[in-house]
Amino acid sequence: MSTGPLAPRADFPLLAASPDLVYLDSAATTQKPAVVLEAIRRYYTEANANPHRGAYALAAAATAAYETARHRVARFLGVADPDTLLFTRGSTEAMNLIATAWGRAQVGPGDNLVVTRMEHHANFVPWQQLALATGAEFRIAELGPAGTIDLEHLASLIDARTKVVAFGHVSNALGTIHPVTEIVRIARERSAGGAPLGPGLPPGALLVCDGAQAVPHLRCAVDALGVDAYAFSGHKIGGPMGIGGLVMRRGILEAMPPYQFGGDMIEWVEDRTSTWNVLPHKFEAGTPNVEGAVGLAAACDYVERLGLDAIRAHEVALTAEAMAALGAIGGVTLFGTPDATTRSGVVSFAIEGVHPHDVATTLDVAGVCVRAGHHCAQPLMRVMGVPATVRASFWVYSTSDDVARLAQAVRETQARFA
């Protein structure tokens, strides 16, 4: 059993420049394919101007570059209406956009907000703080067996006063792929007694799905998922830093107050009041990150060329290999579900008697980059009873060799600390 790279290492300038580097922290951020860097360079060389604002041809080219990128990314995500895809800095900003613009207007005392124990801080703290600011109740759905969310407990927390149910698509700490369709069904049913989310929209809670760890690995047909809002980060899918997005139902976006104020998002600015531009501009104040959008679109092209089914198969194979290789080492504990087909390319583990940070440092010197820490999931670490875990995560350039180097380095670490 040996899995070669799905994408040639030569496609990634950083990996090509460091042939011995085993980069196993793709869940934190991916390495960038040359085509993305080239798209950025080309944009600045051929089309750079401030979009939406100029009447000249170069400005039209910049506008076209930006809006074409939006169409491209929307198509990649299975979003039929590109104007419902707002560009943000990343997943974190997407969640904060909802909590600020929608949350502050919609949530009050007596309401409640539901999250899960497994959320990244980006999908936990905004709701916790919204609850504190508005007097709503903050509820946490606890874990079920082996890296799952207890759906019965989740269901029991949701009622007609639930305004938000926020959950991840894939856990960054454990790799668990959550049953989104099932969660949506439960949440809709349990919150059905609430007010409609808008004209022609379902009643009840706003269903917010954090797709940061799903988009790089799974075919995410966002429209078909049935959620009301979906967030993702470009830098986790080969795109540049500083760009990501939020997909949200048109009816909700149209009814929602804006998020930030300034150029592009206005229609008319009177002395005392203002009116807002149409979607998506209403939610994109100021000069947009055209470069970021263009780079992200190039990343979507690249990933689609590799094929999402192929990526998925590649990652399942590597995850299974890694779980087998690490599981065979005495003193290594694996976290999460035992079935590689229900997780993305993330393997979280611990070595008995060696603190995760010492593991990460020792592995680093062996040329293996893994992440040690709480993975921005302190509430999860707390109930798991560990201060931190070691996490290895894969992407398209990862191989069986990487897994073997990881396992070997783990054994050497044990020897050093024995």
Partner 1 sequence: MSDATLDALYQEVILDHNRRPRNFHPMPAASCSADGKNPSCGDQLTIWVRVDGDRVAELSFQGIGCAISKASASLLTEAVKGKTRTEALALYETMHRVFTGLETDTAVLKGLGPLRALSGVSKFPMRVKCASLAWHAFKAALDGAGTVSTESGAPTPVS
Ligand X SMILES: Cc1ncc(COP(=O)(O)O)c(C=O)c1O
Q: What are the residue numbers of the active site?
A: 376
Binding piece for its own copies, criterion CB under 8 A, among 145-153, 219-227, 234-242, 409-417: 234-242
Q: Is 210 exposed, middle or buried (0-12, 13-18, 19+ CB in 10 A)?
A: buried
Determine, following the binding rule CB under 8 A, whether residue 288 of this chain makes contact with partner 1. no
Q: Using CB atoms within 10 A of its CB, is residue 200 exposed (0-12), middle (13-18) or buried (19+)?
A: exposed
Q: Where are the beta strands (DSSP E) in 189-294?
A: 206-210, 229-233, 244-248, 266-269, 274-276
Cβ within 8 Å of residue 42, ≥6 positions away: none
* Cα dihedral value 16, 403, 29, 31, nearest 10: 10
Question: Which listed option, ligand X, its own copies, partner 1, none, makes contact with residue 168 (CB within 5 to 8 Å by class)?
Answer: ligand X
213 touches ligand X by CB under 6 A: yes
Alpha helices (runs of H) in 286-355, residue ranges in sequence order:
290-306, 308-327
**Contact flag: residue 386 with its own copies (CB under 8 A):** no
Q: Are 191 and 166 in contact (CB under 8 A)?
A: no
Number of amino acids touching its own copies (CB under 8 A): 86
Per-residue interface string for the shown chain with partner 1, residues 55-94, x marking contact by CB under 8 A: xxx-xx--xx--xx--x----------x------------
Given candidates 11, 25, 67, 210, which one binds ligand X under the rule CB under 6 A? 210
Return the residues of window 117-136 that contact ligand X according to CB under 6 A: 120, 122-123
Q: Is 138 in the site for its own copies (CB under 8 A)?
A: yes
- Shortest Cβ distance from residue 218 to ligand X (Å)? 13
Closer CB to partner 1, 139 or 371, in the complex: 371
Q: Quick one: 5 or 90, whose CB is closer to ligand X?
A: 90
Options 242, 307, 364, 400; binder of partner 1; rule CB under 8 A: 364
**Nearest to residue 339, comparing CAs of 146, 120, 118, 142?**
146
For 181, left (φ over 0), alpha (ψ -120 to 50), or beta?
alpha
Tell me how long the chain is. Answer: 418
Residues that bind ligand X (CB under 6 A): 90-92, 120, 122-123, 168, 172, 210, 212-213, 233, 244, 263, 286-287, 376
